Chain A
């Protein structure tokens, strides 16, 4: 009997920026709103690269919804933005501040535990006034249906709850989006994987080593030949008293190259270029990882079904515009638009129209156009064609290509094209922009770095050992343990590695009845809940129970 179940006008699942924006907007419109967050505290399950944008063209910004956000919840603003093209020791740096500032009201580095827990308090306060509120430690594990229609949510820790609107802001591995059949974990091409280290800085070191004032900060990006040919790049953002240093790679490329994400991160951390900022000192506060949807391919064009609306990563709303990655700002816009859509539909006594209204708003407010740009569709059809891609790659790498690079640099074309939002939005997902071109640019124009960087990042065992876990029941089940089906996870999982026995995935050779079998075994204890193995291995993937699993202190 579902009549005894609790009912709220709106249930928001997940209290990251998308969920917070949705909940605050619902509450402002007087909608009784319950927010359910599975972490022990908001932010304890969240990792992000670390930059949040407020776009001039966006319908909503996080500081518009949450006054004092910038002074109380974020780290340093990004006032300078550089791309380093790397070939061995040679580096050619291009100033991308113009591209970064395009359509940007402001952009701040953030650490998610601090940011999201700050949002949590504000969201609880405003939603409590509507008769709802925010609860942590509650994992929503599915949709409640009546006669096939979505009418609410089911939870591990609570009895089922009915709602007139369900806003799923439950992140990149949204179980609700998958329950509704709107998203899947099928194609590695649709995803990036990011890993990140938060590096402690002595007091005053950020200002001194980066040459910035207290209210200034820098973003440095890295691409070229330092990542074993895997398509992707690295980043370094300055926080108040720490650095966020990470790498982001196309998941299909990671799998194809059988690269170890933590080793690629180490390749960046130990590159001589970083010596000027690390200066031989290295104290890693936290290692984290996250799956990142590529909105160009993964953003759902119609992210709703019945009473359910998806926002943020749950809907694949993560825009990679060349080197610039924008996710949280779109989650904020989408969350607030979904809330707006429901309030309007409810006022007109037609709550069932909320989803369609949300979709229209995403389109009319220009959000969908940024997430799935039309020019990319055309350019990628040509640029990602195998024959064309290989020809372009060879051309850039040729002596003719390098001559062209030098000419382009002299004419100022190189800097201009990197700073063009259009060029960046149509960049094809091939080796050329990530690896070949940056390497060729560095070889043609770069200056060798003379410094030695002798920092020693911790090994994987120490990185896992330093994380906080409240281990519950295993939450991932290996469906097919053959190496062919699930072996890719051994390297691609950010807390596993070949020849490392302490990670999630291990490969082993078992001798049975005279023949050898190459198998994969799984232990979910060190899991950082990134979702990589849901895509690259054959698993039954779920989040751990509320409050269980990894707890990020930095995020």
Chain B
């Protein structure tokens, strides 16, 4: 079973990592790039497939050369046998449409066609959720989205997935699809390993992948525009029909409370804090 996971590098939006300038614009240079957090669930689903059925897990991304580390992160944090980076200046500034075309061509370029392509549920920066389904459309495969649990019948070449209906955790439907298939793992996706043998294999694979991630470049292939034989008019900025008319910062919610900062070492300041608190303190 060959599975391919699509991932994207995104700014690390966690507090303490992300940096904004005075106008509220993201300072890209000061903010580290990490693997899109939702893609972790896609990798978990691919690893579950490998544990249960064997085969290989490939991880692919389109982006600048620095995205190598994003692929390394996926390899170390969850699992990957091999890594593919689609990287070329011509691919730069692509919207989701041009990205999908590039990724689809990348998939076609693999020696071994995947049985399942996994994607995560929307990226932390773009939040469109377009790239996975559009790439699937390019491949002309079936797609199952919002998947929370997955079973594969290798002999019948089908998969059976539990998916959230309209992203609602209360309602779950079970669907069947033929392979090859595109699967979007929901953030609620939980890999299940109910057999000791599966857990032991999972443990082996986790140890292996961490070791492999130390020399990840030995397992990395970089495809450029020439290698993929892509028409420059269909990729990158030139291939992107999206026009960004303008960007407005999200206004901060107005503060409803007043805050006063007091240094705990400031005796007079602290005394006034206690004075303020006194009416609220319950006296027995």
- Within 8 Å CB of B195, what residues of A? 6, 158-159
Measured CB to CB, the closest approach of chain A to B118, in angstroms, equals: 25
Pull 27 A–B residue pairs with CB atoms less than 8 Å apart, ordered by A.
A6-B195, A6-B196, A6-B197, A8-B196, A34-B196, A34-B200, A36-B196, A124-B203, A128-B200, A128-B204, A132-B200, A133-B200, A133-B203, A135-B196, A135-B199, A135-B200, A135-B203, A138-B196, A138-B199, A157-B194, A158-B194, A158-B195, A158-B196, A158-B199, A159-B194, A159-B195, A161-B196
Q: A54 to B196, alpha carbons, bound, how many Å?
A: 33
Q: A161's closest neighbor in chain B, by CB?
A: B196
Residues facing A in B200-244 (CB within 8 A) are: 200, 203-204
Shortest distance in angstroms between B28's beta carbon and chain A's nearest beta carbon? 37
Residues of B within 8 A of A (CB): 194-197, 199-200, 203-204
User: Residue of B at shortest CB range from A5?
Assistant: B195
Chain A residue numbers with a CB within 8 Å of B203 are 124, 133, 135
How far, in whole Å, are A254 and B204 apart by their CA atoms in the complex? 47
In the docked arrangement, what's the CA distance between A135 and B197, Å?
A: 10
Q: Which of A14-43 contact B (CB under 8 A)?
A: 34, 36
Q: How far is the CA of A36 from the CA of B200 in the complex (A)?
A: 11
A-B residue pairs, 8 tightest by C-beta: A133-B200, A159-B194, A135-B199, A34-B196, A158-B194, A6-B195, A158-B196, A6-B196
Distance in Å: Cβ of B158 to nearest Cβ of chain A: 21
Complex CA–CA separation, A132 to B203 (angstroms): 12
Give chain A nearest CB distance to B268 CB in angstroms.
31
What residues of B have a CB within 8 angstroms of the CB of A138 in the complex?
196, 199
In A130-180, the 8 Å CB interface with B consists of: 132-133, 135, 138, 157-159, 161
A128, A132, A158: which has the most chain B beta carbons within 10 Å?
A: A158
* Complex Cα–Cα for A478 and B200 (A): 37
How many positions in chain A have a CB within 8 Å of any CB in the partner chain?
14
A159 to B200, CA, bound (A): 14
Residue of A nearest to B202 (CB): A135
Taken together as a complex, chains A and B put the C-alpha atoms of A59 and B196 apart, in Å, by: 32
Taken together as a complex, chains A and B put the C-alpha atoms of A34 and B199 apart, in Å, by: 11
- Min CB distance A31 to B, Å, is 15
- CB of B123 to closest CB in A, whole Å: 31
Closest to A11 in B: B196
Residues of B within 8 A of A157 (CB): 194
A6 to B204, CA, bound (A): 19
How long is the Cα–Cα vector from A268 to B204 in the complex, in angstroms? 47
Give bound CA distance, A72 to B203, whole Å: 24
CA of A8 to CA of B204 in the docked complex: distance in angstroms? Answer: 18
List residues of chain B with CB within 8 A of the CB of A159. Answer: 194-195
Q: Report the minimal beta-carbon distance from A222 to chain B, rounded to whole angstroms.
A: 41
Assembly CA distance A6 to B200 (angstroms): 13
A6 to B203, CA, bound (A): 18
Residues in B neighbouring A128, C-beta threshold 8 A: 200, 204
> Which residue of B195, B196, B197, B199 has the most chain A CB atoms within 10 A of its CB atom?
B196
Known contacts A138-B199, A157-B194; 9 additional CB pairs below 8 A are A128-B200, A128-B204, A133-B203, A135-B196, A135-B199, A135-B200, A138-B196, A158-B195, A158-B199
Q: Which of A34, A124, A133, A161 has the most CB of B within 10 A?
A: A133
A residues less than 8 Å from B197 (CB atoms): 6
Q: How far is the CA of A357 from the CA of B197 in the complex (A)?
A: 30
Cα–Cα distance between A128 and B201 once the two chains are bound (Å): 10
Contacts of A135 in B (CB 8 A): 196, 199-200, 203
Chain B residues near A158: list those with CB within 8 A: 194-196, 199
Q: How far is the CA of A193 from the CA of B204 in the complex (A)?
A: 39
Looking at the assembled complex, report how far the CB atom of B199 sits from the nearest CB atom of chain A, in whole angstroms. 5
Alpha-carbon separation in the docked complex, A158 to B195 (Å): 6
Which residues of B are found within 8 Å of A8, using beta-carbon distances? 196
A8 to B194, CA, bound (A): 15
Closest to B199 in A: A135
CB distance from A40 to the nearest CB of B (A): 13
Minimal Cβ-Cβ distance residue in A for B197: A6
Please measure, in the bound complex, the distance between the C-alpha atom of A88 and the C-alpha atom of B203, giving whole angstroms: 56
* Shortest CB distance B78–A (Å): 18
* Chain A residues positioned under 8 Å from B200 (CB to CB): 34, 128, 132-133, 135
Q: In the bound complex, what is the Cα–Cα distance between A132 and B204 (angstroms)?
A: 12
Closest-by-CB residue of B relative to A132 is B200
**A42 → chain B, closest Cβ, in Å?**
14
Chain B's nearest CB lies how many Å from the CB of A6? 6
Chain A residues in 8 Å Cβ range of B204: 128
Please, which residue of chain B has its CB at the minimum distance from the CB of A159? Answer: B194
Shortest B71–chain A CB gap in Å is 28
What's the Cα separation between A284 and B194 when bound, in Å? Answer: 39
How far, in angstroms, from A138 to B200 measured CA to CA in the complex? 12
CB-nearest residue of chain A relative to B194? A159
Determine the chain A residues whose CB is within 8 A of the CB of B199 once the complex forms. 135, 138, 158
CA distance A34 to B197 in the complex (A): 9
B193 to chain A, nearest CB (A): 8
Across the interface, which residues of B come within 8 angstroms of A161, CB to CB? Answer: 196
CA separation between A160 and B200, bound complex, in Å?
16
Q: How far, in angstroms, from A124 to B202 measured CA to CA in the complex?
A: 13
Measured CA separation A383–B132 after assembly (Å): 80
Q: How far is the CB of A7 from chain B (nearest CB, A)?
A: 10
Closest-CB distance, B52 to chain A (whole angstroms): 14
Query: What is the CA–CA distance of A157 and B199 in the complex, to the nearest angstrom?
Result: 11
CB closest chain-A residue, reference B201: A133
In the complex, what distance in Å separates the CA atom of A161 from the CA atom of B199? Answer: 13
Nearest neighbor of A35 in chain B, beta-carbon distance: B196
In the bound complex, what is the Cα–Cα distance between A13 and B195 (angstroms)?
Answer: 16
Chain A residues with Cβ below 8 Å from B196 are 6, 8, 34, 36, 135, 138, 158, 161
- Taken together as a complex, chains A and B put the C-alpha atoms of A159 and B203 apart, in Å, by 18
Shortest distance between the CB of A23 and any CB in chain B (Å): 14
Q: How far is the CA of A135 from the CA of B242 in the complex (A)?
A: 50
Task: For the complex, give the distance between the alpha carbons of A159 and B195 in Å.
Answer: 6
Q: Whole-angstrom distance between the alpha carbons of A159 and B197 in the complex?
A: 11
Chain A residues contacting B194 (CB-CB under 8 Å) are 157-159
State the CA gap A161–B196 with chains docked (Å). Answer: 8
Within 8 A of B (CB), among A367-385: none
Least CB distance, B190 to chain A, in whole angstroms = 13
Task: Considering the complex, give the chain B residue whose CB is closest to the CB of A157.
Answer: B194
> Which chain B residues lie closer than 8 Å to A124 at the CB level?
203
Question: Chain A nearest CB: distance from B166 CB in Å?
Answer: 30
In the complex, what residues of B have CB within 8 A of residue A132's CB? Answer: 200
**Cα-based distance from A161 to B197 in the complex (angstroms):** 10
> Using Cβ atoms and an 8 Å threshold, which residues of chain B touch A133?
200, 203
CA distance A124 to B200 in the complex (A): 10
CB-defined interface of A388-403 with B at 8 Å, one 1/0 digit per residue? Answer: 0000000000000000
